[in-house]
Amino acid sequence: MGNRLDQLNLNPLPLSHVASDGVEYAGLAGEIPRLAVLASPGAERVLDDFEGETSAVAGGTLRVGPRSARNLAGLRSRLDWLRPRPLGIHTSAGFGDRLGLATPGHIRALRAVGGGIAPVFAQQSIREMTRTGRAALEVVDDAVWGAFTEGWRQGLGADADHLKAPEDTDRCLAAGFTTYTFDPGEHVDSAADSADASGLRTSVTKLPWAALEDTEAALRARYLGKSFEVEHLRVAFDEPVLLRAAAKYGRAVAHVVRMERHLRSAAGTRPVEVEVSVDETDTPTTPAEHFWVASELKRLGVRWVSLAPRFIGRFEKGVDYIGDLKALDQEMAAHAALARHLGPYKLSLHSGSDKFSVYPIAAEKARGLVHLKTAGTSWLEALRTVAALNPGLFREIYAFARERYETDRASYMVSGELGRAPSPAEVPEGRLSELLDQLDARQILHVTFGSILKETGADGRPRFKDAVLGLLRANPEAHARNLETHFIRHLRPFAK
C-alpha cells in the first residue's frame, strides 16, 4: 500500500506513516498534534477505535482527530510495537521526560549510536508525576506518541519508577506500565552502619520475622561463619557483617516482597517486570549487603530484572560523579559479579544523568547487564532550547528557580549553592545557556522543575509551563537536536 495520506495535503510526518491491513496511519505536523487514519473500502470498522472528523476521500474513509487518550489506545491496539513491554535483562536505558515532548530526541540519539540498547521511553516516578501534574496514562501516551511520530518500531518499555506503596502500583498498572521499580528506601536503616554490636542485635531481634518468613536462628544458620566465592570475590559473613546487613535491609526486603506479590496478583497474566532500588539511602551498599539482599529476595520468591545499589561516592542530580573513580571501579566490579552470580540481573544506575566518567566503567564491568536511568537531564535540555529561543523567558525561570531552590532541594542529593551560582542579572543574553553547564545553576534549575511547572501568575494561569510547552512545540527540531546531541554522550559507551 502506498502513502495515500501524502496526496491529501494533510502534511503528514513522514516517519510516522504506517500502512497495515488496508489502513494508513500518520501523525500530522503542527503545534497541535493530530492523528490521521485512512481506511480502505472494507476496513472501515477500524475507525471505530478512533475519534475525530470523518470524510469520504478517493479510495477510502478518512478520520482526523486529536492526539487523545482514545486515539493513542487505538494506535496501541493496532500497532503492536507501540505497546510497552518488559525488556528483560537486555542492556537498556530509561529516558525520563517531564514535559512529554522529549521522545523524538531520545530516539534520534539511539539511532545515532547504532543500537544495542533497549529503550524505556515512558519513565516517571509518582513523585515526578505529582510535581509535574501529569497522570500515569499521560506519561505512557506521550512516549507512545513520540515513538509513533518518529517511526520507532523496535519496541519500548514503560517504567513506573520509585514506587513506594501498592496503590501507586495499581495506578500504573491501569496506565499500561510494564516495569515496576520498587523503592524501599524508607525502610532501610542506614544507622546500622554506625551501630555497635548491642544495637545491631537489638535491631535484628525486632525485624518483622513473620513477613520475612524466617527466624533469627534460621538466618544465622544460613550465613554465620560462612563465605561464598563469587568470581573474583569472597563474601564472608561474620556476626557484625551479617547483623549489619539484616538490620540495615531486613525491613526493606520485607517491603519489596509485599510490593512484588501485590504486583503479581494485580497484574494477573499481564507480563510485567520488577526493579529493586536501594539507591536513595544515606550509606553505600557493600558487596556483602548486596549478596544478602539478593539472596533473601530469591529465598522469598521475588523475581526481578535489575537492582540499583547505593554506590560509593555521590551520584548527584544533573552532574558528573563526585568521588574516587578507582574505588568506584572496584566496587562496581564487585556488584556486577554479584548480579551475574545471583541472577543474572542488570545493575541499574539511578541518578544516571550526566555521569560521563562512570559510563565506561559500568559498561566494562557489567558486560551488558546494565540499565541506565536518566530523568532531569531531559528537562535541562528543554531549558537549553528555551534559553536559545526566548532568553527573557529563561531568565525569568532561572530567577524563580533561585527563589525555590532551598525548599525544593530537600528531597534530592545535590551540593549546588546559591552563592556560587551567577545571579540572573549578571549573565548576558547570549550566554544564558552557559548556566546549564555551571554546576550550581544546573542543579538549581534541575530540582525546581515542579515549582516552575506549577507556578501560576496573578491571573491564575500557569506562569511558565504553557510558554515553555508552546515554545518547544513550535520548535520541535531545535528541541530534538539538543536532546540528540546530549544523549549520544550518555548512550555511546553502552552501545554494541
CA distance 451 to 341: 43
Q: Are residues 399 and 333 in the same domain?
A: no
Q: Would you say residue 419 lies in a domain?
A: yes
Q: Is residue 111 situated within a structural domain? A: yes
- Is the same domain home to 24 and 115? no
**Last residue in a domain, options 341, 359, 376:** 376
* 203 occurs within a structural domain: no
Neighbours of 246 (CB within 10 A): 27
**How sure is the predictor about 373, in pLDDT bands with cuts at 50, 70 and 90?**
very high
What pLDDT digit, counting tens, does each position of 125-158 carry? 999 999 999 999 999 999 999 999 999 999 999 9
Is the pLDDT at 411 greater than 90? The verdict is no
CATH label of the domain that carries residue 245: 3.20.20.70
- Work out the number of other CB atoms within 10 angstroms of the CB of residue 352: 24
Residue 2: pLDDT over 70: no
**Confidence (pLDDT) at 496:** 81
Find, among 133, 132, 110, the residue nearest to 121 by Cα. Answer: 110
Q: What is the mean pLDDT of residues 77-94?
A: 98
CA–CA dist 493, 350 (Å, integer): 16
The pLDDT value recorded for residue 328 is: 98
Residue 198 forms part of a structural domain: no
Same domain, 329 and 237: yes
115 plus 171 within the same structural domain: yes
Residue 193 has pLDDT above 80, yes or no: yes
> 148 and 261 share a domain?
yes
Q: Is residue 113 one of the residues assigned to a domain?
A: yes
Across the range 242-254, mean pLDDT stands at: 98
The pLDDT, as a whole number, for residue 92 is 98
Q: Report the mean per-residue pLDDT for the chain.
A: 97
Domain coverage including residue 453: 377-488
> Does the bond joining 284 to the residue before it have cis omega, within 30 degrees of 0?
no
**Cβ proximity of 471 and 482 under 8 Å:** no
Catalytic sites, residue numbers: 161, 275
**Are residues 41 and 109 both part of a single domain?**
no
pLDDT of the residue at 3: 80
Residues 111 and 73 in one domain: no
* pLDDT mean over 353-378: 97
Across 86-90, 277-281, 491-495, least confident range: 277-281
* Residue that terminates a domain, selected from 351, 376, 401: 376
Number of domains in the chain: 3
* Per-residue pLDDT band at 386 (split at 50, 70, 90): very high
Query: pLDDT of 253-309, one tens digit each?
Result: 999 999 999 999 999 999 999 999 999 888 999 999 999 999 999 999 999 999 999
Within the chain, what is the greatest distance between any pair of CA atoms? 83
Share of the chain above pLDDT 90, in %: 96
pLDDT of 1 higher than 60: no
When pLDDT is cut at 50, 70 and 90, the band that residue 9 belongs to is confident
Same domain flag for 412 and 437 = yes
Q: 37 CB contacts (<8 Å, ≥6 apart)?
A: 23, 24, 25, 46, 47, 50, 52, 62, 63, 64, 65, 74
Given 339, 361, 376, which residue is the final one in a domain? 376
**Contact of 208 with 251, CB cutoff 8 Å:** yes
* Residues 42, 90 share a domain: no
pLDDT digits (tens, 9 = 90+) for 320-359: 999 999 999 999 999 999 999 999 999 999 999 999 999 9
301 in any annotated domain = yes
Confidence of residue 64 (pLDDT cuts 50, 70, 90): very high
CB 111 within 8 Å of CB 480: no
For the cut 70, the answer to whether the pLDDT of residue 408 exceeds it is yes
pLDDT of residue 5: 87
204: in domain: no
**Per-residue pLDDT tens digits for 467-485:** 999 999 999 999 999 999 9
If asked whether residues 426 and 365 sit together in one domain, one would say no
Specify if 494 maps to a domain.
Answer: no
Mean pLDDT computed over 419-424: 97
Q: 310 with 325, same domain?
A: yes
If asked whether residues 437 and 468 sit together in one domain, one would say yes
Higher pLDDT, 6 or 226: 226
Q: Are 133 and 454 in contact (CB under 8 A)?
A: yes
With cut-offs at 50, 70 and 90, classify the pLDDT of residue 176.
very high
